[in-house]
Each structure stands twice: as structure tokens, then as C-alpha cells.
Amino acid sequence: MKSAAPQSLVRQQGFTLIEMIGVLAIMAILAAVITPNALRTLDRAAVRAEAETLHNLGEQAKLFLKAKGWAPGLNPIAANRLSWDQDLATFADISPAEILTNKRQMARSYIYEPTASPRRVLIISSMRTGLALPLAANINAVPLFDNIWDTADGAVPPAGTSWAGWTAWRNTLNGTAGDYLVIERVNLAPTSNADLQTEINTVQKLGEQVKLFLQAKGWAPGLNPVVANRLSWDKDLGAFADISSADILINKRQNTRSFIYEPTASPKRVLILSSMSTVTGLTLPLAANLNTLALFNNVWDTADSTVPPTGTSWTGWAAWRATFNNGAAGDYPVIERVNLAPTSNNDLQTEINTVHKLGEQVKLFLQTKGWAPGLNPVVASRLSWNQDLGTFADISPVDILTNKRQNTRSYIYEPTALPKRVLVISSMSTATGLTLPLTANLNTLALFDNVWNTADGAVPPTGTSWTGWAAWRATFNNGAVGDYPVIERVNLVPLYLTVVLNNRSATTVSYNIVGQVPVNILAPVPPATNTSVTIPCFPGYQINLYRAAGGATFDYSYVVTTTSSGRTFDFNTGTNWVPQP
């Protein structure tokens, strides 16, 4: 018979009830200690993940601004404006729901600072249910916005100038409230400032292109002197600089730039204005708004990064001053001042040099041919002055007749039988209605001398003057008179040899100058004792002398030679001309 197993062995096969209760109690104590910490760890991980998500959304907002020129939800074209989440979702290829709602299905809040042109954004998220977040309508003042912006991470905005809803956060979670609140502060100022600087650089480059256009064409964009061919400034500049008209007219923020010439007959200054504001209702002046020099100068003289001051000022600037107050005035208006005077003055000097060279060519032509351009003594072979000079100097007749500004030059001989002076007149004005005289307009010596004796840089004065100069004097007033008319005086007298005729009698006599072909130029020597006439002529010229007026009673013939200069003939009391030794 087997003996029974020892009692001690049986007891070792399990736990007593008391032991089990003890173990469970220990486990309950451990769970009570560990579970809250574990949950807190999970919450903190979720908060960290949410903070990283909001930071990424903030970076996307900056990239959006950099790419578009305006921040999400602030499209300056109101008809195309979407919500911030739709804009950002399309740009970053994220669904709007993932932008608006966090992992705990709580709606995020996206709030711009409440200023005319915001540069800061708050993205706020709650990781705790039952606690609301402020909306843009709740943070409608800069102090309320700054109350959140300045809150330290891991804290709830303090009492004071604070949204009322934060009280519930402070009361509910006490010292742990900030653990569940995630605030991302997005500073758009660096990107906005970079865009502003980019726009400043852009309009500056447009200004340089305007100068190059003027230098190349002779007239500024939009001011083609051939009215039938005149285009808008953006089309002219676009074709010249190979830039689309849209890129010239519209900036990155979809605001239209303004291009304004000073309101003078022949403008030498241009304003290119641009707005980097996304605020509705802020416009830029047009040319019609700055239609006096005082209004134009009010903008021209404005310091950078400011709005034109009050006084003689376009009324539209008042809205800018009211909107961008507290030191922010002028952050966005960009004013580029384009001074065309140096280029215009260079063009003016170039034209002065050009007509001077034409005058020198006229002298060379006369020396070579024996007659001045356009005055071929063989009438059947006579050409216009520009054709003669063009063939002689190997310059196209068009380049002789027309200057860089597409204005026609005027070429006028003094109105005498044998002209010894020439006027070459050119206009560098782009003003309409300003013409130059033609030969028929200066058909007396008094009218010719009125122009010949005019000082450089001036318009011929009143008096015995061509009526057309009145328009010049009326247009170019206030010290600008004569900036554009160019007058070249070509004196041909030194090129001629001279023969002196002395009439020492009381009888009226005459002479006839004959070139290679008789030209029948007759001129009486007045009847007075010791009256002299100095005749300009060239080698080969023949001078016929007559004892009576009108070429009657031929007396003496003389052919001019290279050594003839100063040769003298006297008509004495007698009846014939006598050559003097």
C-alpha cells in the first residue's frame, strides 16, 4: 500500500488566495502609477507631432507667399479669392481636411494679424476636446493677436488684454493647459520684405530699360512722334526688352503698375509706381491724376518707404496714409524715379554734333563742287539738298532729313541771289504741334537773321520772327526754352574767293556772275561815290561788268582764278571798269 504524499508538497502546487490578492493589489498600484504617465507620454508625443505639422504648414505658407506674391486666403483679386486651406491645399498637394483638422479631429485656427497688410500668422491647434480655439473674428485687434503671439511655448495666453475663451483653458487644466495647446507663429515679414526688394529691383530695371529705349529710339516708350505708330508704354518696352506686356504692367501681387510722365510738352522724368499691398481700396495714381507739375513733384520728391505727404497731393494718397499708419506707412508703395534728362541731353548733344557734321559736309561739298547742295547751276540736274549731300558724303538721304526722334530737319539758305549762309535746324521735341520753319517761312533776310542770331539753347525771340516760334516759346517756358531746337549756322563766306567792285561814280552799274553755265545773277551797284561790293566766288567763275543797270552795255569780263582773291575793279567817273593792280 502506497503511503500518502507529504502535505508540504501539495501546498507548493499553487498560490493561496491571500497571495493572489496581494499580487493583484500590487498590479493595481503599479497600473495606477504607470497608466497616467503612459497616457501623458502619448499626449506629449501627439503634441510634438502636431507642433511639427503646424511648423510645416507655416513653412508652406511662406513658400506660397514667395511663389504667388500674396499669402494663402489673401488673393488680391477678390473674385478669385479662396480660403486659406484651399489655397494651401492646392499649392502643397494636401487635402483641405488634413489642413483644417488635426489627428484628434479638432479644427485648427488660422489667424492673420489684424492689420491692413498682415505680415504675421498664427496657426493654433488644440489636442484636448471640449476647449475652444479663437477665430479670426475673436482676435480682431493687434493687442489680442500679440497676447497669443508673445505666449511662451507650453503655456496658455495670460490674462489681461486677452481673448475671453482662454479663461476656460486656464481653469480646466491649470498648470498643464499649455501641454494641449499648440501655437505656430509664422513670420511672413522676411518673405514680404524679400518680395518688396524684388519689386524695387524690378521697377529699377524697367527704368533702366526706359533709358536704353530712349537712347536707341530717340523717343521714350509710348511717345512715338509718329502718332499713327504710337503704342502704349508697356507694348513699346515689351517689344524692345523682350518682356511680355503683362509682366511689365502687373507685379507679383497682381497689382497694376503705374507709368507716369511728367506733365510737360517734352517730358524728361518718369514715375513707375507699384503697390505691394494686398489691401483692397488702395489704388495708384494714373497720368490723369498727376496732371500738374506740383502733383507730379509731390510724388517725385517723396522719400523711399513713405507715402507722399499732404499738401499739393493726389487725393488717393490719403487712403494710404490712413491705412499704413503707426510707422508702417509706405512699406508697400514702390516709387521708381526715372530721370531721362541725362539721356535726353546726350541725345541733344548727339544731334548738335550731327547737324554740325552736316554743316561741315556742306562746306566740303561747296569746296569740291563749286556750288552748294541743292543749288546745282545746271537746273536740269538739280537735286534736293539731302540727295546731293547724301551722295557726296555716302549718307542715306533719310538719315540726313530725319533725326533720331523722327523729326524732319529743316535746311534753309539765306534768301539772297548768291546765298552765303545756311541754317540747319532740328527739333528734339516729342511734343505735337511744334514745327520747324521751311525756306518759304524765312523768305526775308530779317526773318532769316532772327534765327541766325538766336543764342544756342534758346528759341528765336519775338519781333521780326516766324510766327511758328510762338508755339515753341509758349510750350518750353519756365527755363526749358530752347532745350530741344538745335540750330546749326553754316557760314560759307570763308570758302569763297572774293572780288571787290568799287563804284566811284554817280552812275548805276551792274555785274553778272557766271558759273560753268550762265545763271544770270544781276545786281546793281548803287550810285554813290566810293560804294563797294565784295563778291564771293570760286575759281572758274566769270564776272561780267556792265556800265549800266540791268546788265546793259557790257564793258569787261573777268575769269576768277585761285589767286584772284581780293582782286579789285573800279568804275570811275569815266565810262568803263578799270582793273586795279
Q: Copy the grid coordinates of residue 524.
A: 546793281
Domains of the chain: 42-187 (no CATH), 191-339 (no CATH), 343-492 (no CATH), 496-579 (2.60.40)
Distance in angstroms (rounded) separating the CA atoms of residues 370 and 65: 75
pLDDT, tens digit only, all 581 positions of the chain:
455 555 554 455 666 778 778 778 778 777 676 666 655 666 678 888 999 999 999 999 999 998 888 899 988 777 888 899 999 999 999 999 999 999 889 999 999 998 877 889 999 999 888 889 999 999 999 999 999 999 998 889 988 888 999 988 888 866 566 678 999 999 998 888 888 889 999 999 999 999 999 988 888 999 887 778 889 999 999 999 999 999 999 998 888 999 999 998 778 899 999 998 877 778 899 999 999 999 999 999 998 888 888 888 899 998 888 876 544 445 678 999 999 988 888 888 899 999 999 999 999 998 888 778 998 877 788 899 999 999 999 999 999 999 988 889 999 999 987 788 999 999 988 777 789 999 999 999 999 999 999 988 888 888 888 999 988 887 765 444 446 789 999 998 888 778 888 888 878 888 887 754 444 555 666 666 677 787 777 777 788 888 888 888 888 888 887 776 778 888 886 678 888 87
Which pLDDT does position 36 carry in this prediction?
64
| Rg from Cα positions in the chain | 46
Q: Where are the beta strands (DSSP E) in 375-529?
A: 410-413, 421-427, 485-491, 497-503, 509-514, 518-525
Which of 489, 530, 533 lies closest to 510, judged by CA? 533
Phi, psi of 428 (to 5 degrees): -105, 20
* Residues 6+ away with beta carbon under 8 Å from 222: 230, 231, 232, 233, 236, 259, 261
Torsion of CA 289, 292, 295, 301, to 10 degrees: 130
Cell of 93: 498637394
How many residues are there in the chain? Answer: 581
Grid coordinates representing 25? 493589489
The string of pLDDT tens digits covering residues 493-523 is 888 778 888 888 878 888 887 754 444 555 6
At 44 the pLDDT is 75
Which amino acid appears at position 323 of this protein?
T
Separation CA 81–CA 79 (nearest Å): 6
DSSP letter for each residue of 152-180: PTTSPPPSSS--TTHHHHHHHHGGGGGGG
- Which amino acid does the sequence have at 313? S
Spatial CA neighbour of 192 closest among 77, 309, 112: 112
The runs of H, that is alpha helices, within 434-504 are 445-452, 469-475
